[in-house]
Amino acid sequence: MSTNAILSDNPLLKGSGLPSFGEIKAEDVVPAFNQLLAELDQELSTLEANVQPTWSSLVEPLEKLTDRLNWSWGIVNHLMGVKNSSELREAYETVQPQVVQFSNKLGQSQPIYNAFKALRASETWAKLNSAQQRIVEAAIRDAELSGVGLLFEAKERFNAIQMELAELSTKFSNHLLDATKAFSMTLTTPEEIDGLPSSLLSLAAQAARAAGEENATPENGPWRITLDSPSYAPFMQHSTRRDLREKLYRAFISRASSGELDNNPLIERILELRQELAELLGFKTFAELSLASKMAPNVQAVESLLEEMRRASYDSAIKELEELKAFATSKGALEANDLQHWDISFWAERQREEKFAFTAEELRPYFPLPQVLDGLFRLVQRLFGVTITPADGQAPVWHEDVRYFQIADETGHPIAYFYLDSYSRPEEKRGGAWMDICINRGKVTENGVTTTRLPVAYLVCNQTPPIGGQPSLMTFYEVETLFHEFGHGLHHMLTKVDYAGAAGINNVEWDAVELPSQFMENWCYDRPTLFGMAKHYETGELLPEHYYQKLLAAKNYMSGSATLRQIHFSSLDIELHHRYRQDSGETPKNVRDRLAKTTTVLPPLPEDSFLCAFGHIFSGGYAAGYYSYKWAEVLSADAFAAFEEVGLDDEQAVKATGKRYRDTVLALGGSKHPMEVFKSFRGREPSTEPLLRHNGLIAAA
C-alpha cells in the first residue's frame, strides 16, 4: 500500500475548498507537511526542468503549486492565532523551518526567474492584461530582492546576512520582553493606589498572586504594577502619586538599554547588516531597498509628506502642551509650569474627562454586537450595493461561537463569504484584531471546465463575550476596530480580479493596503450610520445626542501631539535607514536626540532609550516603512472626502460615489499600481488636506 493512500485522509492535504475544521488535529500537521513539501519539491524540480516563458506554462503551474502550499500553511497559521495549544505550537515549530526553506528555494529559483524575464521580453507580453503584467513584474522584483541575481560568494553572503538578521531580530524582541518582565513595583498601602480604576486593581492583584502573593485581592492588595502596557498605561493615566509615576516612567524608557539585555549593540549591528544587504542588491541605502516594493516612489516623497505633516501638527502640539500645563497648574498641582514626562498621561486624562465628561464604559450598552453588525451590513449595502446574510451551518468552524456569512451582488448571486470570530478566548487566541485570507478569488479549470472560485475571508476580533443573557457590549473603539477589519475584508472579497496573485489584497503595496480599512473607520462618525446602530440593548433608546457631540469633539483631542509622535517615529526610522553611518561619530541615540529638536515638544530625558524598545523597526516588518501608517491615512481620508464633497446626506450621490469606489479601490486589488487605482477613483493624486482637516489640524474650508 503506498504512503499516499495512508495519508490521503489527512484533512490538511485536501488542498482546496473550505477547511474541515472539525477534523483537523495537531498531530496531522507534521505528516501533512512532510508529504506536501516532498511533493511540492518534486513539482518544482519538474517545472524548473520544463519551464517555458508563457503564461500557461509558467504562471499557471506556479500558481497551482503555491496555492497548495498557501492553502495548507494558511490553515495552520490561522489555527495558531485562534486555537493555539502546546501540541499545535510544537508541530508548527517542527515544520516552519522546512516551509521557510522551501519558500526560499522557490524565491531564488534561477530557471523560474529567467523564464519570468523571458516572458517580459517576449512578443506575447503586450497581449497580457494589466493584472497579468503586474504579477510577472512583482515576481521578477521579489526574486531580485530575494537575491536571485547574486552569484557565488555574494549569494552566500546574502543568505548569511538574512540568517543573522533573523536571529538578531528574535534576540531584540526577547531582550525587550525580558526587560519588560524584569521590572515591577509592588504597592501595599491605600495611599499608593490612590486614583487607580478597579480594572487595574484586579489586574495588579492577579499579577501579585502570579508572583507568589497568594492572598492578594483587588480590595486589600498587595498590587503588582509592571511595564506591560495593560498595567503601565492605566497607571500613568490614573495614579495620583507623582513620585510613583516618575519611578515607573524612568524604568519604562530605559528598558533593554543596559546589562545583559542591552539592545544598543544589536541596533548597531542590524543597521550595519541592512546597509550591506542593500548594497549587495545594488541599492545605496536600506531605505531605498525597502521602498522598491512600496507605493511611495522614493525617500524624498516620504520625507516631504512627513515634513508637511510635521509643520501642520507642531504648533498644535505646542499649544496642547501649554493648555495642559495651564490646566494642571489651575488644579494647584504644579509649581509654575513644571510639567514633566510622567505628568502628561495623567493630566491629559483629567482634562479629557473634564472637557468631554464621559468614559468609554458608559457607551457600551448602546453598542451590542448584533446591532453593530446590522448597522455595518446596512452601510455596506448603501455604499456598495451588496447584501450580507448569515450562512451559519454551511461551513465547518473551529469554535461554536464562530459565525459564517454570505455576500451577494445586486442580482442575488453569491460573490464571497466570510467567517467572523468575535469574542476573546485568552487561553487559546492571540489578542488584537485581524483579517486573513482563507480562499483567494481566481479562475479554476477542472476537466476542461472553467469556473470562478469565490473569495473567503477570516475576520477576527477580541470583544467581551456575551455574559449572563446580555449580548457582547462593545466600546466605541471596538466598533471602530470591527469597521477597520471589515474594510480589509471588503478589499479581499469585492475584488473583480481573476488571478489569485493580484486578487484583493494580494500584490497591493504595503503602504497602500490600509486604505480600505482606515476608510471604513470614518463611517463610525457618520450620523446616519452611528444612529442606525447605537441603541440601548435593554430599552432600545437611541444614543443621546450629547454623547454623539462628545464623540465628535473627543475625536481630535490632543491630535497635534498624536500626529507629531507618529512623525517623530517615522522620521527617525527613515533617517537611520537612509543617512545614518556608523563612521559618522554619531550613535543611533544621538540621531534620535537631534531629530527630537523638531519632532517633539518636550525633549526626551537623557536616559530615554526608546530605540531599544522600537520593535516595529528592529524586530517587526516596519524597517524604513513606519511612515506607511501616515501614508495610507492620507489616502483613506482623501477617499472619504470624495463622499463628503458630494454630500453625505445626498443618497443618490453617495451611491454613485460608492459604486465608483467599489469599481476601483475594491475591485482592482493588486492588478494596477495603487497610485493608478487611487487616481481612477479620485481623478487626481492624493491630497493631505482631508486628513489634516479630519484631525482638526486645519480649519474646514
Q: Alpha-carbon distance 115 to 134, whole Å?
A: 15
List the grid coordinates of 76: 495552520
Count CB atoms within 10 A of the CB of residue 261. Answer: 18
Q: Alpha-carbon distance 20 to 23, whole Å?
A: 6
For cell 446602530, name the residue: 533
Length of the chain measured in residues: 701
List the grid coordinates of 543: 444614543
Question: Which residues on neighbouring strands pair with residue 470, listed in sequence order?
Answer: 467
Q: Alpha-carbon distance 69 to 44, whole Å?
A: 12
- Cα-Cα end-to-end distance for the chain: 77
Non-local CB neighbours of 351 within 8 Å, separated by 6+ positions: 323, 324, 327
Outline where DSSP puts E strands in 538-635: none
Query: Residue 627: which of 515, 510, 507 has the closest Cα?
Result: 510
Q: Alpha-carbon distance 217 to 618, whole Å?
A: 38
What angle do helix axes 152-182 and 264-280 make, rounded to 10 degrees? Answer: 160
Non-local CB neighbours of 259 within 8 Å, separated by 6+ positions: none
Q: Alpha-carbon distance 227 to 392, whole Å?
A: 42
Question: Which residues on neighbouring strands pair with residue 417, listed in sequence order?
Answer: 406, 456
Count CB atoms within 10 A of the CB of residue 76. Answer: 22
Catalytic site residue from 192, 485, 509, 514: 485
* Residue 485 falls in the annotated catalytic set: yes
Q: Alpha-carbon distance 504 to 658, whole Å?
A: 17
Catalytic residue ranges: 485
